[in-house]
Structure formats: C-alpha cells, structure tokens
Amino acid sequence: MTTWIILGLIVLLALVLIAMYNGLVKVKNRVDEAWSDIDVQLKRRHDLIPNLVETVKGYAAHEQATLENVIKARNEAMNAQESRDPNAVLKAENALSSTLKSIFALAESYPDLKANQNFLELQRELIDTEDKIMASRRFYNTNVRDFNTKLQVFPTNIFGRMLGFKNYSFFEAAESEKEAVAVKF
C-alpha cells in the first residue's frame, strides 16, 4: 500500500513538472511569435525607406547629409535585427525613427515634395507600418509580461530556471520619445 502511495506521488509530481514545462514552452513560443511579428513589420519599414529616400532625393538634392543619415540608420537597424537581440534592435530602431522624422520635417521645406503623390503614398505606408510596429511591440510586451510572470510564480520559479528558462526584456520607448512635445504657435 505504501509503495502505491509513493508511486502515486511520484507520478503526480512528474505530471506537475510536465505541465509546468509545457506551460512555459507554450508562453515562450508566444513571445517568440510576437518577436517575429515585430521582425516582419521592421522588415517592411526597412523596405519602404529606400523608396522614400529616392523620392526625396529628387526634390532635396542639397539635403544629402539628412538622406545619408537615414540610410545609415536603416542599415544599422537591419544589422541589429539580424542579431535578434531585443535591446540592440530597440536602440537601432529608435535611432531610425529619429532620422525618419528628419525626412518628414524636410518635406515641410519643399512644397512640391509635400504634394508629390509618390511621397504622400510612401509616407502613408510608413505611418501605417509605424502603427503596426507599435501594435506588434504592445503584443510582444504582453506576451513577455505573461511569460515573465509565469516564470516568477511558485512553483514554476523553482523549476523554470532549473530547466533553463530566462526572463525576456520588454520593448521600451527611447528616452527621447518619453519627453513632452513642445507645441509653439
């Protein structure tokens, strides 16, 4: 009788460990899927930028430094994306966002560019992509929160780390994006 109780407890413990492991794997896969969604949107953004730069080049030939900064930031963002390090991607993408703002500011100085249909379409697509990136980041952060919480609660916190699971980092806004926008009339 005692043997059956001990055997039953061992089977129960094994089932609990299997359930915890499978739960962690499921949530980890959701985080990886969310990262992949960000990856897809960033690729779309990186593909749009050369077209936008080429359109601007025709109107603002003497603004070469601005255009070169955008291309440089795009290349750095693509390299960071290949590293699959969320912190490196975040830093590079924030730098790219800053340089993209300079192109849209540049458009204000060139009324013909601002009215160009190709530029307007590219700008619309880029804004749409930025919205999708923001949604993907929120989805990623939600899944990271769920995974990290699951990894930190008892008893998963004991066994999860022993099984090699580690916390994920959240996507966070750059310090420059946290500052209040100054509105002047």
Q: Domains of the chain (ranges plus CATH)?
A: 20-178 (1.20.1440.20)
DSSP state of 172: -
| pLDDT score for 182 | 44
More confident residue, 74 or 184: 74
In this prediction the pTM is 0.72
The one-letter code for the residue type at 105 is A
| pLDDT score for 179 | 52
Say whether pLDDT at 183 is over 50.
no
- Give the whole-number percent of the chain exceeding pLDDT 90: 32
- Give the whole-number percent of the chain exceeding pLDDT 70: 90
174 pLDDT band (50/70/90 cuts)? Answer: low
| pLDDT score for 53 | 82
- Per-residue pLDDT of 76-132, as tens digits, reads 998 988 887 888 888 888 888 888 888 777 777 777 776 778 888 888 888 899 899
* Contacting residues for 134 by C-beta, under 8 A, at least 6 apart: none
180 pLDDT band (50/70/90 cuts)? Answer: very low
| pLDDT score for 171 | 81
DSSP state of 154: T
34: left (phi over 0), alpha (psi -120 to 50) or beta: alpha
| pLDDT score for 63 | 72
Task: Identify the residue whose tokens are 């849209």.
Answer: 104
HEC profile of 87-103: HHHHHHHHHHHHHHHHH
Largest CA distance in the chain: 89
Say whether pLDDT at 15 is over 60.
yes
More confident residue, 61 or 50: 50
- Per-residue pLDDT of 142-172, as tens digits, reads 999 999 999 999 889 888 888 899 999 888 7
